Every structure is written in C-alpha cells, then in structure tokens.
Amino acid sequence: MYKVKVFVTLRESVLDPQGKAVQQSLTNLGYEGVEDVRIGKYMELTINEKNQDVEKTVKEVCEKLLSNPVIEDYRYEIEESVQQ
C-alpha cells in the first residue's frame, strides 16, 4: 500500500486572484512581510498496486485528471505504508 500526497497549484505564469485576495487580507491584518500567496489543492491517494510502478501511475493520473497542464503544475510525495 502506498500513501500518495498530490499538490496541485496554478502555474507561476498564471495570475491567482484567490491567492492575491488572501495576501491582501494578510497585509490588512498587519502581516506585511507576506509578499505572495498561491492557493492550490491537496489530495491524498491510497494506492494498492503490487506489481506496477506506482510512480508511473501517479504521474499518469496527475496528467490525465488531477491537474490541467495548461494552467496547473503538480508535485507529489509517495510513502510506502506498512500493512497492518
């Protein structure tokens, strides 16, 4: 069993109006040092694949569904979890 953490964020070249609004709000709160906020998505996948390449599967699902490469970047962390 694998626990996979997937992070999807808007690409650097894409303006993130949500992040901008949050950053502005933090400035108003007095946190002027917070120069930039980017908002993204976090997903946890539990994958049970014995014979297949887990990383290959993760890359495929990220590209086919979990992210849209036109506007988003993704990264992931794979952890092997010991079965109880």
Partner 1 sequence: MKFAVIVFPGSNCDVDMFHAVKDELGEEVDFVWHDADDLSSYDGILLPGGFSYGDYLRSGAIAHLSKVMNEVKKAAEAGKPILGVCNGFQILLESGLLPGAMLRNKNLKFICKQVELKVENNETMFSSLYKKGETITVPIAHGEGNYYCDEQTLKKLQENNQIVFAYGEDVNGSLIDIAGIVNEKGNVLGMMPHPERAVDELLGSADGLKLFQSIVKHWRESHVVNA
Report the interface residues with partner 1, using CB under 8 A.
10, 13-15, 17-18, 21, 41, 64-66, 68, 70-71
Select 1 or 57, whichever has its Cβ closest to partner 1. Answer: 57
Select 70 or 82, whichever has its Cβ closest to partner 1. Answer: 70
DSSP output for 1-49: -EEEEEEEEE-TTS--HHHHHHHHHHHHTT-TT------EEEEEEEE--
Q: What's the min distance (Å) between Cβ of 32 and partner 1?
A: 22
Q: What's the min distance (Å) between Cβ of 84 and partner 1?
A: 30
Q: What's the min distance (Å) between Cβ of 41 and partner 1?
A: 8
The three-class DSSP label of residue 65 is helix
Q: Tokens 């040092």 correspond to what residue?
A: 33
